[in-house]
Amino acid sequence: MDNLAQALAKEHGGDKIHNFTIGNPRVPPPKAYKDALIKIANEDIPLCHGYSSTQGDLKPRETFATLFSEIQDVKIGAEDIVLTSGCAGAINVVLRTVLSPMDEVVIVAPYFLEYPFYIENFHATTVVLDTKFEENWQINPEALEKVVNPQTRAIIINSPHNPTGVVLTQKTVNDMCAVLKKKSEEYGRPIYIISDDVYCRVVGAGVKTHQIFKHYDYSVVAYSLSKDLSIPGERIGCIIVNPLLQGRELLVHSLAHANEIMGFVHANRVHMRIIPEVVPATSDIHLYDESRKLFCDLFDELGIQYVKPEGAFYVFPKIPDGIDEWAFCETMAKNFIILVPGSAFAKEGFFRLSFCKPPEDIRKALPVFRTAFAEALKLKK
């Protein structure tokens, strides 16, 4: 759909096309980020562009340790952290470390479309756990119990969630942990929770995200600065290993080794030096609150159903009954609103709209959306 957006922009002019496909944040990074880039470019330190260790420089790990000690409410040390090439790099490194061929990994539909490919990278099998619009896209513990078996090695959870924008409740996470603890004991080997928290700081005002470390020993968090600092192209993130996990040193060591042998070697060195200068600053996250509200108000006006998003910069509404998903998205595109069909996230009958733009851009799109939606409604059988 992004390619279609580019083609339409070429034909009709970029200003006319409202592209809501990709989660490539348009709210600029904070000033502190540019200042740090300039400062670091001017530093003249021997080997400052040379190799680091596979785990990454100490100072940025200390910065992330402080940040996540607060988020997780558990004391995390620099020794619990491995710096990675973004969150995608973090997830791949974890999977490389914990999986053997034929292991199973549970992912939760609708899901970030790249997870099955990551799992395939390591010759493991993807098992899809479905969630329901009617259950606010929360994980159902009974359904989870049915898909777990002795082959299950890991589950990937993601909150705030791409594509729905939903935040998992702490109860959902606790119920999930209870099932996985029981099953791990029954099968005599741990099932890892990989908590993809790439959007953990992109939340609406007052929204609290889940904590995992206190509730489940075999857990790791995958994170990056891609979304909350608006620097996805710079490829910097980390894995945080649960500091409460007994014997975690071997896991951290193995993760750092995987980082190296997968060809990443280690994370981006310039950004290792940027992190202590910038974090915990974020880009202007509250602008997404405004953009989110503009779309939710529009959907309420048009009678479009959706589960209220509380984080990330996505919303995942229902396509009105009697309208084919692709025909809907095509008609919207012909009328200059570019969306992603739900089947791209293994959930047909929905569309994902990414509003990672400042509110002034969204305001310009609202009347165009109204016209496009009126056209799409004519498809109704």
Summarize as ranges the residues that interact with ligand PLP (CB under 6 A). Answer: 23, 86-88, 112, 158, 162, 196, 198, 224, 226, 232, 237
| Counts of helices then strands in the chain (DSSP H, E) | 12, 12
Q: How far apart are CA 307 and CA 57, in angstroms?
A: 41
Q: Which residue, 237 or 341, is less far from ligand PLP as judged by CB?
A: 237
Burial of 105-115, coded b for 16+ CB within 10 Å and e otherwise, reads bbbbebbbeeb
Alpha helical stretches, state H, the chain: 2-12, 31-42, 58-72, 86-98, 115-120, 141-147, 170-187, 248-261, 269-278, 286-302, 325-334, 359-377
Q: Which residue, 71 or 372, is less far from ligand PLP as judged by CB?
A: 71
Rounded to 5°, the CA angle 59-61-66 comes to: 100
Q: Which residue, 57 or 196, is less far from ligand PLP as judged by CB?
A: 196
- Min dist. Cβ of residue 212 to ligand PLP (A): 16
Answer for the pair 159, 222: CB distance below 8 angstroms, yes or no: no
Three-class secondary structure assignment of 62-118:
HHHHHHHHHHHCCCCCHHHEEEECHHHHHHHHHHHHHCCCCCEEEEEECCCCCHHHH
Q: Which residue, 183 or 201, is less far from ligand PLP as judged by CB?
A: 201
CA dihedral 327→328→329→332, nearest 10 degrees, is: 120
Q: Which residue, 232 or 317, is less far from ligand PLP as judged by CB?
A: 232
Q: How far apart are CA 166 and CA 252, in angstroms?
A: 30
235: left (phi over 0), alpha (psi -120 to 50) or beta: left
Report the interhelical angle of 2-12 vs 325-334 (nearest 10°): 30
- Min dist. Cβ of residue 300 to ligand PLP (A): 26
Q: Which residue is nearest to ligand PLP (CB)?
A: 86
Q: Which residue, 248 or 271, is less far from ligand PLP as judged by CB?
A: 271
Question: Which tokens go with 23?
Answer: 């989660």
- For the beta carbon of residue 122, count every other beta carbon within 10 angstroms: 17
Q: Which residue, 313 or 369, is less far from ligand PLP as judged by CB?
A: 313
Q: Which burial class, exposed, middle or buried, applies to 339 when counting CB atoms under 10 A from its CB (0-12, 13-18, 19+)?
A: buried
- Min dist. Cβ of residue 87 to ligand PLP (A): 4
- Min dist. Cβ of residue 64 to ligand PLP (A): 14
- Min dist. Cβ of residue 228 to ligand PLP (A): 10
- Min dist. Cβ of residue 24 to ligand PLP (A): 8
Q: Which residue, 162 or 209, is less far from ligand PLP as judged by CB?
A: 162
Q: Which residue, 86 or 317, is less far from ligand PLP as judged by CB?
A: 86
- Min dist. Cβ of residue 223 to ligand PLP (A): 8
- Min dist. Cβ of residue 340 to ligand PLP (A): 12
Type of residue at 229 = L
Q: Which residue, 258 or 376, is less far from ligand PLP as judged by CB?
A: 258
For 47, residues 6+ apart whose C-beta sits below 8 A from its C-beta are none
- Min dist. Cβ of residue 313 to ligand PLP (A): 10
- Min dist. Cβ of residue 162 to ligand PLP (A): 4
